[in-house]
Chains A and B, each alone.
Chain A
Amino acid sequence: DTGVSQDPRHKITKRGQNVTFRCDPISEHNRLYWYRQTLGQGPEFLTYFQNEAQLEKSRLLSDRFSAERPKGSFSTLEIQRTEQGDSAMYLCASSPSDSNNYEQYFGPGTRLTVT
């Protein structure tokens, strides 16, 4: 297994456009997380899935953000009507459900630049 993968690695978009990112977790990891990281900061929690169920969402996740994990495997994060403040690194992580804590395995991230 090659770890958590994310696509694309970089995305440049104009303000107002919609973007979608994909995350493929480590196979057999039932838990999947999305974070946002801005320069000089640690990751900020966005949302969490257990299989296909979205169990937690941050208040940071405005109405313009939506995440799905339809078959409990890969996940997508969509941002509608992007704003310059959305420019950040979007990180995905996964963890096994048989773990009694949230030790997470992170992907390399998708860097979004909104011009």
Chain B
Amino acid sequence: GEDVEQSLFLSVREGDSSVINCTYTDSSSTYLYWYKQEPGAGLQLLTYIFSNMDMKQDQRLTVLLNKKDKHLSLRIADTQTGDSAIYFCAPGQYSSASKIIFGSGTRLSIRP
């Protein structure tokens, strides 16, 4: 079946930029989502990008998409302690809810 891979952990210093990477196998993905999950909470949609775009910026968040390499990244500028969470990449297709596949998540921790 289709697969989504992410690094398990990322540690950055407060104020630096964080870059969370994701690779996926489904070339038919049309929407690629990023979700954030804080401890004990459900997932929060952060942003998404259409497959016909290669970049999307939303305040401190920048999403880059390399469709040829099936690589997605999320950059968080000026990382704050409140950004500590698990971040999930989730490519999907418009045609089917079941084709949204979540990665295992990257746990972001912030060093003072």
- Chain A contact residues, CB within 8 Å of chain B: 4, 31, 33, 40-45, 48, 55-58, 91, 93, 100-109
Contacts and interface: CB of A to CB of B under 8 A. Distances in A.
Given A43-B102, A107-B42, 11 more contacts: A33-B97, A40-B105, A42-B104, A45-B97, A56-B96, A100-B94, A101-B31, A101-B48, A101-B94, A106-B35, A109-B42
Interface of B: 4, 30-31, 33, 35, 40-45, 48, 88, 90, 92, 94, 96-98, 100-105
B100 A102 contact: yes
A57 B98 CA distance: 8
A43 to B, nearest CB: 5
A44 B92 contact: no
Contacts of B96: 56
Most chain A C-beta atoms within 10 Å of own C-beta, residue among B42, B98, B104: B42
A57 B42 CA distance: 21
Nearest to B96: A56
B75 to A, nearest CB: 20
Nearest to A44: B102
